[in-house]
Amino acid sequence: MTIEAIAVDIDGTITDEKRRICISAIEALRKAEAAGIPTIIVTGNVVNYAYATEVLIGCSGGIVCENGGVVFKEGENNNAVETLVERDFITSAENHLKEKLGEKFDIHASHDNMYRLTETVFYKTLPRSELEEALEDFEYLNELEIYDSGFALHVTNKSVNKGTSLRYLCERNGINMENVMAIGDSQNDEDFLKEAGYKIAVGNAEDKLKEISTYTCEKKFGDGVAEAIEKFAL
C-alpha cells in the first residue's frame, strides 16, 4: 500500500464531540508529515479556521474548506484563497431564506457566516425540514445542496463538493487520488471519501459512511485517525 497524502476532516474526525482536537491525531499526523506524507485538511469550516488548524498541527498539503467551495495551499495561486463558485448564487439563496424564515434566520444562522465565501450555514437548532421547506420555492433549488456536518446544516452550490475540490487540489500537485487516504465521520465527508483510493471511517462515523469505507476504525474521533495512520501509512 502506497499512501501519497492523507485527507482528513476536522469536526468529529480529528476532534471529539466537544470539538477538541485529539492529541493522538496531532501526533499521528505529524509522524506522517515527518515521513513525507502531507496532510490535506478537508472541512466544512471557513478558511481561517481551517488554515489555523493546518498551521497548528503542522500539515503541509493544503486545505479544502466550505465543503469544496474554497481551496488554499501556500505557494500556489499567488498565496491567495481560491473560490471555486460564485458567492452571488448563495447570496440570492440567503436573501430568499431571510424572507421565508424571518427572525428565525438570525436566531439560527451560524455566527461565522460573515466569513463564508461560498455557502451559508445554520446551527442544528433549526430543523432540516424547516430549512428545506423554506427553500421549496427558491428559483434555483435544483442547484443547491444541503449538507449535515453533524454540527451544522450547510447550504451550498452543488456544482462543487469536498470530493471534486480535493481531486482538483491533488491533481495540480501531482498526487494520484488512488493513493490518497481519506478519513471522515459524517454525511458531508462521503463525497471526498468516494474520490480516494483508501476510504476510512472513524469509529463514531455515520453508518452510511461506514458502508462505503474500505476500513472502519475501532476507535472513535482522533484516536481513530491515529489508528488508521499507524495501520496504513506509517
- Strand 152-157 and strand 120-123: the pairing is antiparallel
Q: Beta-strand (E) ranges in 45-131?
A: 63-65, 70-72, 82-83, 120-123
Helix, strand, or coil here: 201? strand
3-state helix, strand, coil in the chain (%, to 5): 45, 20, 35
Burial of 12 from C-beta contacts in 10 A (0-12 / 13-18 / 19+)? buried
End-to-end CA distance of the chain: 10
Residue 232 grid coordinates? 496504513
Q: Which residue(s) pair with 220 in the sheet?
A: none
Residue 129, SS3 per DSSP: helix
**Catalytic site includes residue 16:** no
User: 65, 45 in Cβ contact below 8 A?
Assistant: yes
**Catalytic hit among 9, 189, 191, 223:** 9
Contact between 143 and 89 under an 8 Å Cβ cutoff? The reply is: yes
Catalytic machinery residues: 9
